[in-house]
Amino acid sequence: MSEEKTLKRSQTKTKMSKSKETENLPKSKSHIDPKPFMDLYGLMKERAWIEDEWEALIDLWNLCENNQQQKLIISLLERFKLINSRDLKNYCEDIAKHICDTWGITNRATKIVALSDGKTPDGSQLIIQAIKNNFASRGNWAEENFRNNLITIGKTPYQLRSGQSIILIDDFIGTGKTAQRKIRWLKNEVDQKGKKDITIYCVSLACMKSAVSIVEQLGVILYSPLVLEKGITDFFGSEDVSKYIEQMLGIESKLNPVNKGERLPSLGYGKSESLFAIEGINVPNNVFPAFWWPLLRGETERKTIFQRIR
């Protein structure tokens, strides 16, 4: 037998042997449905910010136990409103236009104030810094018209004047309870100092629809260029809401219930079901924790699409 024939026969036997070995390998009982897999791939290709977080997305994907959970994650991310620098610039232009043109407010007897009352920086201070330059060509607005903390207005007598307009600025209003508390505090300071005819306005880059009435009930005029609905409750039909809430709770059951003394805010703080963040800053805790909660059960760290420090 020629060496060539011997070599071919040997190769054939090797292939047959490998084929039998392959047949004997244990097969996984779980299979990925091609449709949600292609949806996931399409999601990453269409949204660059998601593609940048592909490892975290895959980790979240692997927490899903069924196609319904995968479908839910895809749907939520498709509708997630992530504000980038260009979006922020455009929305801040819109806010300045609304204050000056729609409300007709001028620089005279007006303070524009970040809705911050603590010592640590927050998102409201980012927004007030971002909107300032939009007032440069709108009359005689100056630095003295802007303040980066609510305390500088409420606790300083000369900052409060009768007939004044106070415009409170925030980045995001979730349940409305924090804004409500701060506005009530300011109104109390105004009353205690005997100031008359002070009109309080509130502007937030984004606001949950469910929070609008909570703020407006305080007699405050509210404007938000982004009024957002709940990611599950306000989107799916009534017959599907409970089903998808249950699926999200199933995903959350894989997360550690506590992190650094903070309890996991199921469905987002106050069950807000929020789908909003500003690129590069703390994601609100109103957002579904599946997207940002850093610990799995057993306190195992996980990669997350968004980050939040506390």
The average pLDDT across 122-131 equals: 95
Q: For residues 102 and 223, what is the distance between their CA atoms, to the nearest angstrom?
A: 11
Query: Hey, which CATH number is domain 105-228, 3.40.50.2020, 3.90.1860.10, 3.30.70.890, 1.25.40.10?
Result: 3.40.50.2020
Q: What is the pTM of this model?
A: 0.86
- 240-267 average pLDDT score: 97
Q: Above 80 in pLDDT, residue 210?
A: yes
Comparing 22-26, 77-81, 170-174, 244-248, the range with the smallest average pLDDT is: 22-26
Say which residue, 228 or 30, is predicted with more confidence.
Answer: 228
Q: Which residue has the higher pLDDT, 165 or 17?
A: 165
pLDDT of residue 22: 43
Among 298, 297, 291, residue whose Cα is nearest residue 307:
291
Q: State the pLDDT at residue 38.
A: 78
Domain ranges of the chain: 34-82+230-301, 105-228
User: Does position 13 have pLDDT exceeding 60, yes or no?
Assistant: no
Residue (of 137, 201, 210, 216) closest to 170 by Cα position: 201
% of the chain exceeding 70 in pLDDT: 89
Mean pLDDT of the chain: 89
Cα 36 from Cα 96, distance rounded (Å): 42
Q: Which of 29-38, 50-59, 122-131 has the lowest mean pLDDT?
A: 29-38
Other CB atoms closer than 10 Å to residue 194's CB: what's the count?
8
Contact 266, 286 (CB under 8 A): no
Region 283-309: mean pLDDT is: 97
Note the pLDDT tens digit of each residue in 82-114. 999 999 999 999 999 999 999 999 999 999 999
